[in-house]
Chains A and B, each alone.
Chain A
Amino acid sequence: MKKLKILLSGAAAFVAISSSLAHAERGADGELKILFWQAVSTMNPFLSAGTKEVYASSMVIEPLARYDEKGELVPWLATEIPTIENGGFAEDMLSMTWKLKPDLKWSDGTDFTADDVVFTWKYCTAPDGGCAQRAQYEGVKNVEAVDPHTVKVTFEDPKPYPYSAFVGAQSPIIQAAQFKDCLGAAAPGCTDANFKPVGTGPFVVKDFKPNDVITLEANPNYREADKPAFASVTLKGGGDAASAARAVLETGEYDYAWNAQVEPEVLETMLAAGKGRLEISFGTQVERINLNFTNPDPSLGDKRSTTEAGPHPSLSDPAVRRALSLAIDRDIIIEAGYGQSGKPTCNIVPAPENVASTKNDEWCLKQDIEAANKLLDEAGWMPGPDGIRQKDGVRLAFLYQTSTNSVRQATQELVKAMWAEIGVDAELRNASASVFFGGDPASPDTFQKFYADVEMYTNNFDGTDPEKYLAEWLCDKMPSPANGWQGQNIPRYCNPDYDKLVGELSKTADLEKRAELSKQLNDMLTEEGAHIPLVHRGDQSSFALSLDGIKMNSWDSQVWNIADWHRKK
């Protein structure tokens, strides 16, 4: 019996070894089938910054450094991350030097050099090009090739956190030779290059059908001889989130479906088929309710929801803002709409861990109807004959808008019921996402115009440093007719102390100090009720059980390590 056991374990070990050997060959695992329910329209992320385009192109073109699944920077085409300690990032914070990996080849067999990196910068900053990733190069004065394997980036002003240009899936390197005639206004005309970019990544585009299907093959010149394990990738697009999840979890037709944004109970029944699993990772997405600090009264005409309209008749009272937050039970919202892919939060910067504050969790995370009622009573908001609280003729009745999406509408209903418990009424409204987020200055329904009392949506920031994000709540970032309603301070929050602290953050290089300042800013926003953070949203995708090597990543592309994906043996 014992012998048999030894024999069996020996056999198991042998199987394990042989399967790991099997991976040690490029293309051994055949075809990988991916389903994106939003189809990919181009492979050039500089021309379309949609998540789907960024993810799809990240299999082909790569940045110098990127974020791993824990949100830490890892060198990718560079040998190391330039820091002040290793001398790569200058003490005066005005320049940084990237060392490129030696012997890197493009998929067409030519050498990858510093000139390609310089060209990428020129491509995205060329006038009239409409480069969607232009913000990644903000503050970059010059990029030059010191030698074929060294790139020097200089900044206009000291940049305490310099990891933006050439970092992450949004800022990959394209081949100079292929795109040399596609600068500026000529960019859209280069259809062939935009659909089939030459890259350094594990896969090469073989066939591209826009808004439909992409066929990719293993890159014969990929830097690791034994990778990728898959010989080809088929990326199909279109349809809806639920049927995409079904094609992986229930019918097993596909290996990986991106973004399973489906109600938890529906996913539950699909998972019961036993063909797939869900993987979840958390980045910085927070579903929040913005509270309007200005008066959105329609009778004010063009002035509504601007500082000229004056403060909001009821939401300008801190007690009301606090009470609205206290009345919400985040756990119920998550249970109904998010399941495993949501966590209750009171922060607008919920991650990474070192910048996530816990200061307000105590009072804010748990629903406390009693405290909310008490707060409103003390502030003089008394229930009227219809049960709705009022003071001096102002009723606590709010217009609550969001984008059209079944989870959001369900959340609206829940929040309305919770607010009813403290004598606050809400009128619900939703606008199509393409209008709500469309930013058309002529439309009254955009989230920037905020022609409502409260509104709900999700926002996040790229990478792990929240400086740019926290600067969105500066006084001068308010949307108004003067700036064509383009501004990111949607709640119209304005606090000189906050502005000062943001200024301090932009001058601080020490990472610990930066984290401390970020937490302070985050706490300020929550405490003063610029918004009510509701749910820290994760990314959730479905994978076939047979697929291994996946590391779900919310900081970079979900397919960032697709070279390591393989089939379980």
Chain B
Amino acid sequence: MFTYTLRRLLFAIPTLLVISFVIFALLDLAPSDPTGDLPLTIPPEVREQIRASLGLDQPFLIRYMKWLQQFFINEPLNILESLTGWQFGDGDRMRVLSWATRSPVVDLIVQRLPQTLWVVGLAYVFGILIAIPIGVISAYKQYSIFDQIGTFVSMVGYSVPTFFTGVLLIVIFSSYLQWFPSVYDTNLRVTDFQSFIAQVKQMALPVAVLALYNASQIARFVRASMLDNLHQDYVRTARAKGVKEKAVLLVHVLRNSLIPVVTVIALGVPTIFSGAIITEQIFRVNGLGQLLITAIQGADIPLVQTLTFIFAVLIVLFNLIADVLYGILDPRIRYD
């Protein structure tokens, strides 16, 4: 198992290098320009100077090499310095700078990460917690009223896009009932009970939208996997031995059914970090998804490049984790 993991990790390095190059090349080929958002009153020669000051006048390969150096050498050294207080060299390294804000990309990500983890992560956790019981009951009482309703709700939740449910919830709960705010206040600090309630209130709508979406997806997997297992021979054997129905369902069937579900959940974790672009935009949550979309719109290429690359790393990493988890959970699978 250990050598397998090590081998996979080593293989990940060239994969990621290729990914970073592909992202860089794609962004370079894309016909958007960092001065495209500026008012037309800014004359072309000034635009040219702005592009030059961003380093866009340099050849493609040099820009790519610079980014590699900034991302793989300068930024880790900076993080190490701030963690340990040691000093490497003169400390005056070129960091990956965002073109729109002219501030270090890593600082932006660090600033945005907590909101995304809270809102999107919580929605993921809620989604799982809702999905598993629904999936289990739906499968156990297949074609019952509960199953029909559960299937209907999860189909709706899965197929209706979040930009619709989000706006719908705003119209109902913010505009009409006025229960929850429609704009996320990122300056809110939880200091007492009242501010805690305010935080819960402003998280309620975005979390609800995303939890519905996540739950519908996972509930379908749980149901399908449970159905597979319910008709297996070992279930009949257990029942024949006189094991209580509750134990059959929750100990034998559920545990076995969760193996593929765990993989699906692990593979979905990177999407938490990439944020829920649309939902964050609708509720104005300043998370990573919103950061990415504003960067794309503003042609802030260093930011888009860095963010997408970090997502690529996470996807590769969680793919590995899912594979390893599968091996641990299912004794039939051995990699060595």
**For residue B291, which residue of chain A has the nearest CB?**
A211
Interface size on A, residues (CB 8 A): 66
| Cβ contacts A457-493/B at 8 Å (1 or 0 each) | 0011110000000000000000000011011100000
**For residue B92, which residue of chain A has the nearest CB?**
A189
Collect the chain A residues with CB atoms within 8 Å of residue B107's CB. Answer: 191
Asked if B100 contacts A207 (CB within 8 A), the reply is no
Choose among A238, A253, A438, A459 the residue that contacts B299 (Cβ–Cβ < 8 A). A438
| Cβ contacts B11-45/A at 8 Å (1 or 0 each) | 00000000000000000000111011111111111
Which residues of B from 24 to 69 have beta carbons under 8 Å from A?
A: 31-33, 35-54
B199 within 8 A of A: no
Collect the chain B residues with CB atoms within 8 Å of residue A83's CB. Answer: none
Asked if A488 contacts B44 (CB within 8 A), the reply is yes
Collect the chain B residues with CB atoms within 8 Å of residue A247's CB. Answer: 182-183
Stretch at the interface among B71-79, B132-140, B170-178, B325-333: B170-178
A213 and B52 CA atoms in complex are apart in Å by 29
B244 within 8 A of A: no
Which secondary structure dominates chain A's binding surface?
loop
Which residues of A from 21 to 51 have beta carbons under 8 Å from B?
A: 35, 39, 41-42, 44, 47-51
A387 within 8 A of B: no
**For residue B47, which residue of chain A has the nearest CB?**
A439
The smallest C-beta distance from B322 to any residue of chain A, in angstroms, reads 33
A210 within 8 A of B: yes
The answer to whether A236 and B183 touch (CB under 8 A), given A131-B49, A439-B35, A439-B36, is: yes
Choose among A131, A246, A439 the residue that contacts B182 (Cβ–Cβ < 8 A). A246
Asked if A134 contacts B299 (CB within 8 A), the reply is no
A51 and B37 CA atoms in complex are apart in Å by 9
A239 and B282 CA atoms in complex are apart in Å by 6
Collect the chain B residues with CB atoms within 8 Å of residue A95's CB. Answer: none
A483 and B48 CA atoms in complex are apart in Å by 11
| Cβ contacts A230-257/B at 8 Å (1 or 0 each) | 0000101111100100110011011000
A445 and B170 CA atoms in complex are apart in Å by 37
B187 within 8 A of A: yes
A103 within 8 A of B: no
Asked if B182 contacts A209 (CB within 8 A), the reply is no
A76 within 8 A of B: no
Collect the chain B residues with CB atoms within 8 Å of residue A88's CB. Answer: none
B104 within 8 A of A: yes
B111 within 8 A of A: yes
Asked if B294 contacts A211 (CB within 8 A), the reply is yes
A135 within 8 A of B: yes
The smallest C-beta distance from A232 to any residue of chain B, in angstroms, reads 11
The smallest C-beta distance from B78 to any residue of chain A, in angstroms, reads 13
Collect the chain B residues with CB atoms within 8 Å of residue A483's CB. Answer: 44
A185 within 8 A of B: yes
A204 and B14 CA atoms in complex are apart in Å by 48
Collect the chain B residues with CB atoms within 8 Å of residue A189's CB. Answer: 97
B186 within 8 A of A: yes
A263 within 8 A of B: no
A440 and B107 CA atoms in complex are apart in Å by 29
The smallest C-beta distance from A451 to any residue of chain B, in angstroms, reads 13
Collect the chain B residues with CB atoms within 8 Å of residue A51's CB. Answer: 39
Give me 26 A-to-B residue pairs in the complex whose CB atoms sit less than 8 angstroms apart, sorted by A's number: A35-B183, A50-B39, A130-B49, A130-B54, A132-B46, A135-B43, A191-B103, A236-B183, A236-B185, A238-B286, A238-B294, A239-B282, A243-B170, A243-B282, A247-B182, A434-B33, A434-B297, A434-B298, A435-B36, A438-B35, A438-B36, A439-B35, A440-B36, A442-B31, A459-B40, A462-B41
Residues of B within 8 A of A (CB): 31-33, 35-54, 97-98, 100-104, 107-108, 111, 167, 170, 174-175, 178, 181-183, 185-187, 281-282, 284, 286, 290-291, 294, 297-299
A-B complex: 4 closest residue pairs judged by Cβ atoms: A130-B53, A443-B31, A438-B36, A486-B44
New contact pairs (13) apart from A132-B50, A188-B53, CB-CB < 8 Å: A42-B103, A48-B100, A49-B42, A185-B53, A194-B102, A209-B286, A236-B284, A247-B182, A253-B181, A434-B32, A434-B33, A446-B31, A460-B40
